[in-house]
C-alpha cells in the first residue's frame, strides 16, 4: 500500500495534523503565534546545519529551535515582545537562506524547505513523522494538567508547586519536534499556520479544552486530506493548498459560530 506516493502523503499529513492538534491549542491559548513563527523560521538554520555536516535532520532542527527558544527567553523584557519576536524570526529566516545558499546543490531544492514537498515523502520520512507525532502527543498529555493550569493561571500553578517556566520549556520542546517533522510537509514558512489555523477554527465550537483538542485534530486531518485532494485535482503545491483548506474551514467555523450567537 505504501508504494503509492499519495497514500504516503496522506499518512504524513494526518500524522502532522495529530501532532499539531494539542500543541496548537496551547499556542492559541497562550498567544504564541509569533513565537511559533520565530521557531519555525529558525528551522532553516537547522536544515543548513544538517546538510553542511551530514547530520540527521530532526536533531539538527530541534537543536536550533531550542536555541532560538533560549534566546527569546533570555532577551524577554529587554524589548517589546512582538518587536523582539519579529526581529528574531526574520533574522533567523534570512540567516538560514544565506547559509543554505552556500551549500552546493541545495538552491534548486530551497522551495521544498520553505513550502514543503509532501508528495516526495518516503517511507523513512513516514517513520520519522509518526514517531515525532507520537512523541509530541505523549509529551503534551503527560504534562496536560500542569500545562493547562500554568496556561490558565500561572499564579495558581506556582501555589500548587508547578513551575510555569518548566512547562514553557515543555512546550518549547514539543514545538521544536513539530517543526522538525513538519518542515518536510508544509515547509518552514507554513508550519506555524498548521499549528494556529485548525486550533483557531476549533476554538469557537468547543466547550472544553479536551473537546477543542479533539476538534482541532479533526480539523487538521480534514484540511490535510482535503488540501491534498485539491492539490491533486488542481495541480497546485500540496503544502500551501493544505493551509488554504484549513483557512476555508476556519472561515466556515467562524461563520457558524457567529450564526449561533445571532440565533
Distance of alpha carbon 263 from alpha carbon 256, whole angstroms: 10
Which H or E run contains 235? none
Question: In 3D, which of 94, 36, 46 has the Cα closest to residue 67?
Answer: 46
CA 8 to chain centre: 19
Provide the Cα torsion 186, 253, 255, 252; round to 10°: 50
Whether the per-residue pLDDT at 225 is higher than 90: the answer is: yes
Q: Tell which CATH architecture fits domain 5-257.
A: Orthogonal Bundle (1.10)
Q: How confident is the model at residue 263 (pLDDT cuts 50, 70, 90)?
A: low
Is pLDDT larger for residue 124 or for residue 217? Answer: 217
Distance CA 16, CA 48 (A): 22
Does residue 212 have a pLDDT over 50? yes
pTM of the model: 0.88
H or E stretch covering 176? helix 164-182
Least confident of 55-69, 105-119, 151-165, 203-217: 105-119
Q: Give the pLDDT score at 221.
A: 96
Query: Which residues sit opposite 79 in a β-bridge?
Result: 76
User: 128-186 pLDDT, tens per residue?
Assistant: 899 999 999 999 999 999 999 999 898 999 999 999 989 989 998 999 899 888 888 88
Residue 29: predicted pLDDT? 92
Kindly list the domain boundaries of the chain, sorted by start residue. 5-257
Amino acid at each position: 500500500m505504501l508504494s503509492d506516493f499519495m497514500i504516503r502523503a496522506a499518512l504524513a499529513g494526518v500524522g502532522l495534523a495529530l501532532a499539531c492538534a494539542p500543541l496548537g491549542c496551547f499556542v492559541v491559548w497562550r498567544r504564541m503565534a509569533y513565537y511559533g513563527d520565530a521557531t519555525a523560521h529558525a528551522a532553516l538554520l537547522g536544515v543548513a546545519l544538517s546538510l553542511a555536516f551530514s547530520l540527521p535532520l530532526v536533531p539538527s532542527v530541534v537543536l536550533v529551535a531550542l536555541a532560538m527558544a533560549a534566546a527569546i527567553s533570555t532577551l524577554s523584557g529587554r524589548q517589546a515582545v512582538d518587536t523582539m519576536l519579529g526581529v528574531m524570526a526574520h533574522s533567523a529566516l534570512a540567516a538560514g537562506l544565506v547559509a543554505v545558499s552556500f551549500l552546493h546543490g541545495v538552491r534548486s531544492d530551497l522551495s521544498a524547505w520553505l513550502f514543503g514537498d509532501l508528495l516526495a515523502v518516503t517511507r523513512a520520512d513516514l517513520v520519522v513523522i509518526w514517531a515525532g507525532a507520537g512523541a509530541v502527543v505523549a509529551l503534551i498529555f503527560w504534562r496536560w494538567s500542569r500545562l493547562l493550569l500554568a496556561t490558565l493561571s500561572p499564579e495558581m500553578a506556582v501555589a500548587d508547586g508547578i513551575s510555569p517556566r518548566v512547562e514553557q520549556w515543555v512546550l518549547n520542546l514539543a514545538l521544536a519536534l513539530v517543526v522538525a517533522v513538519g518542515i518536510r510537509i508544509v515547509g518552514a514558512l507554513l508550519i506555524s499556520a498548521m499549528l494556529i489555523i485548525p486550533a483557531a477554527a476549533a476554538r469557537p465550537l468547543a466547550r472544553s479544552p479536551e473537546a477543542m483538542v479533539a476538534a482541532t485534530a479533526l480539523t487538521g486531518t480534514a484540511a490535510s486530506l482535503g488540501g491534498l485532494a485539491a492539490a491533486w485535482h488542481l495541480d497546485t503545491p500540496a503544502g500551501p493548498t493544505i493551509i488554504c483548506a484549513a483557512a476555508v474551514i476556519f472561515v466556515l467555523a467562524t461563520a457558524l459560530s457567529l450564526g449561533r450567537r445571532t440565533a
